[in-house]
Chain A
Amino acid sequence: DTGVSQDPRHKITKRGQNVTFRCDPISEHNRLYWYRQTLGQGPEFLTYFQNEAQLEKSRLLSDRFSAERPKGSFSTLEIQRTEQGDSAMYLCASSSLPPSLGAGRGVDEQFFGPGTRLTVL
């Protein structure tokens, strides 16, 4: 396993279409994150999973966005009725967070994939 992979790497779609992206994390990692990044900005958190459970979802995320991680391995991010403002790089990251992690144990080191660049025409 060489790292986090994302598919496709590039996606061009027309406004109003639905798109789905896939992320395959590092195999032993139990936590998976999705981010969106536009030019000149840092990655913006969208959501994350601990195994198959979606623990946090950004309040900025519209209901056109949905993510799944059905078996606690790969994850998909779907955007329905795409808009031009959805054009961005979509990044996936994974990490290994021990279940017993508590206060004072630091935060998990995230390993990022290469991203999927979405262009909505």
Chain B
Amino acid sequence: LAKTTQPISMDSYEGQEVNITCSHNNIATNDYITWYQQFPSQGPRFIIQGYKTKVTNEVASLFIPADRKSSTLSLPRVSLSDTAVYYCLVGEAGGSYIPTFGRGTSLIVHP
């Protein structure tokens, strides 16, 4: 089971770009990288998923280097409402995939 490591917390300011890096040194060939966001007193919400290179959607980008041993979630121009905990998960749905959230990264966006 691939283990992930993220910073415990990060601080930023409104309008800045935020990059959160996740390390997953023992990622398997078929594993995908998935990021979730969680606000207090709510369940997590899917943000983005990728396998290699770069993936972009309407809320974030995900950068994955060629060796896939890490990934970076990029949030452009954050606002106060982006204050949340962000989780990086690694896995592949075929077979016995057990989602492992870890402690995540607590992002605080300041005015």
A-side residues, CB < 8 A to B, are 4, 33, 35, 40-45, 55-56, 58, 91, 93, 97, 101-115
Contact = CB atoms under 8 A, between A and B. Distances in A.
Contacts of A110: 44, 46, 99
Interface in B13-57: 30, 32, 34, 38, 41-46, 49, 51
A109 B46 contact: yes
A102 B94 CA distance: 5
Nearest to B49: A106
A107 B34 contact: yes
A45 B99 contact: yes
Contact of B32 (A4, A42, A107, A114): A107
Interface stretch (B58-66, B69-77, B101-109): B101-109
A43 B45 CA distance: 12
A42 B8 CA distance: 11
Contact of B101 (A42, A56, A109, A114): A42
A41 B103 contact: yes
Contact of A56 (B44, B45, B94, B96): B96
Given A40-B103, A107-B32, A101 B46 contact: no
28 contacts: A4-B43, A35-B101, A42-B38, A42-B87, A43-B43, A43-B99, A44-B101, A91-B43, A91-B44, A93-B43, A101-B93, A102-B94, A103-B94, A104-B30, A104-B92, A106-B32, A106-B34, A106-B49, A106-B92, A107-B92, A107-B97, A109-B34, A109-B46, A110-B44, A111-B46, A112-B42, A112-B45, A114-B42
Nearest to A105: B93
Interface-central residue, B34, B38, B42, B94, by most chain A CB under 10 Å: B94
B44 A43 contact: yes
Contacts of A41: 103
Given A45-B98, A56-B98, A113-B43, A106 B103 contact: no
